[in-house]
Amino acid sequence: MSRAGSQTRTLAEMLRRLRPHWGSDAGLPARIESMLGGDRRLGSRDRRLYRELVYTTLRYLPWIAPFIDTDPDEAARRAAWLAGDIPAVQPFRGEVAAGLPEVPAAADEKARVLACDAEALTPHWFRAECPEAFSAPLRDALLERAPLWLRLQADDPSPVLAEFDARGWAWRPSDLVAGAVRLPHGADVSATGAYASGKVEIQDVGSQRILALAGVGAGERWLDACAGAGGKTLQLASLVGPGGRVTARDTRRSALDELSVRAARSGLSGRVAIVDPSDPPSGFDAVLVDAPCTGTGTWRRAPHLKWVTTPEGVASAAALQLRLLRENAGRVRTGGRLVYATCSLCRSENAAVAQAFLNEAAGFEALLPGNTLLPQSHDGDGYFVASFRRA
């Protein structure tokens, strides 16, 4: 059997192992990494190949899944053709997808080549939440590989960028967010001196845009009410400056432990306070509620969520988001701001929640109307942000 034939068989085995889980397991990426890491046959290049092919299958599931059992060669051919153009994939694609034309950018054109239905790539229930996702340019953006974005966290970024140049990384700055830099796929940021010294943080450019739009003043006191591992917490700490303070809260202790490590590495521990999630203080100049959500804005990074998320899950997330806004509204001082954000594109989680809060929250007025950040507008994940002022 040829090498490509062996790889095709291995891919089919992996997809069959994952198939029972890809419609129900929100933690599928961890399952994929465990599968790849536990296979002693695979070297690092093999893992990069299969990781890309598996994630491509999840992006284009209706176009590939029907062939896994009946025609695994065709499943591999489609996955290889649609996969990202990375070195690990190129030799495999050259063999199994020979004869197919160069991959067009638009999903409609890909569909014509493979005689498929482009609309099948987006769950039908999503039309009521985000009709823009069923046509270009949003549909095409959600099918792309997620880019790698960093946030520069250095007064002088030139040594950081010089290190990237020395590694041969073709970096480029964002046109929309100061200090946001995109690196090529495969760049091992964690191995750099810039990362070890806290001069860069891995953070999607869309995430960075949220605080750029919300506005953060020097010397302000902020509460990050759903801090997680602290990407926005550290961004806030940089923006408020030495005279400011950021209090971080999250129900997951492990996430806060990671935040503590990141804050120490960045030299910002003195501006960040981690508090008991059950009893945060009040009187803040601003409170950020970056609420748990369905993550529909991250489908290019987490394509499995397309097939896991349900309308019931959207409704449940929206109820939790409204509750979090209610809980944190009282922690904003008079004249202060409440900032609401999600990484969802669902109207039920975004504009509907913001409006429901305004309808019931006496003393708050809209400051920043709901703003949906679509992936194609900044080459990042999709987000929603709105802010309210306490009168």
Share of the chain above pLDDT 70, in %: 99
What residues does 248 pair with on adjacent strands? Answer: 224, 274
**Domain locations along the chain:** 3-117, 148-202, 205-390
Q: Which CATH superfamily is domain 148-202 in?
A: Sun protein; domain 3 (3.30.70.1170)
Integer angstrom CA distances of residue 309 from 122, 143, 306: 11, 17, 6
Instruction: Output DSSP code: residue 176.
Output: S
Q: What percent of the chain has pLDDT over 90?
A: 86
Which residues have CB under 8 Å from 61's CB, separation 6+?
22, 121, 306, 307
Q: What is the reported pTM?
A: 0.94
4 pLDDT band (50/70/90 cuts)? confident
Q: Is the pLDDT of residue 252 over 90?
A: no
Q: What whole-number distance in Å separates Cα of residue 11 and Cα of residue 75?
A: 9
CA distance 43 to 121: 32
* pLDDT over 90 (residue 275): no
Q: Encode pLDDT of 293-322 as tens digits.
A: 999 999 999 999 999 999 999 999 999 999
For 120, other C-beta atoms within 10 Å of its C-beta total 13
State which CATH number among 3.90.1260.10, 3.40.50.150, 3.10.20.30, 3.90.1170.50 fits the domain covering 205-390: 3.40.50.150
CA 273 centroid distance within chain: 25
Helices marked H in 241-291: 253-266
Neighbouring-strand partners of residue 366: 388
Q: Which helix (H) or strand (E) holds 84?
A: none
pLDDT at 186 over 90: no
- Does residue 331 surpass a pLDDT of 90? yes
Mean pLDDT of the chain: 94
DSSP string over 137-175: THHHHHTSPPPEEEEE--S--HHHHHHHHHTT---EE-S
Question: Is pLDDT at 276 greater than 80 in this prediction?
Answer: no
Estimate the crossing angle of helix 3-18 against helix 44-59, to 10 degrees.
50
Q: How far is CA 213 from CA 5, 26, 372, in A?
A: 51, 30, 11
**Residues carrying an active site annotation:** 343
CB-CB neighbours of 165 under 10 Å: 11
pLDDT at 228: 86
Task: Provide the pLDDT for residue 314.
Answer: 98
Run of H or E including 6: helix 3-18
Q: Measured at the alpha carbon of residue 335, what is the angle toward residues 332 and 337, in degrees to the nearest 5?
A: 50
Q: How many CB atoms lie within 10 A of CB 310?
A: 13
What pLDDT shows up at residue 300? Answer: 95
| CB-CB contact of 329 with 337 (8 Å) | no
Residue 370 class from Cβ within 10 Å (0-12 exposed, 13-18 middle, 19+ buried)? middle
Give residue 220's pLDDT. Answer: 97
Q: Is the pLDDT of residue 285 over 80?
A: yes
As given in the structure block, the two tokens for residue 243 are 């005279």
Mean pLDDT value across residues 260-273? 91
Cβ atoms within 10 A of the Cβ of 33, count?
12
* Interatomic CA distance for residues 39 and 20, integer angstroms: 19
Question: 60-112, pLDDT tens digit by residue?
Answer: 999 999 999 999 999 999 999 999 988 999 999 999 999 999 999 999 999 99
Q: What is the pLDDT of residue 194?
A: 95
Could you tell me the pLDDT band of residue 254, with boundaries at 50, 70 and 90?
confident
pLDDT of 280 > 80? The answer is no
Give me the mean pLDDT over the 244-262 stretch: 90
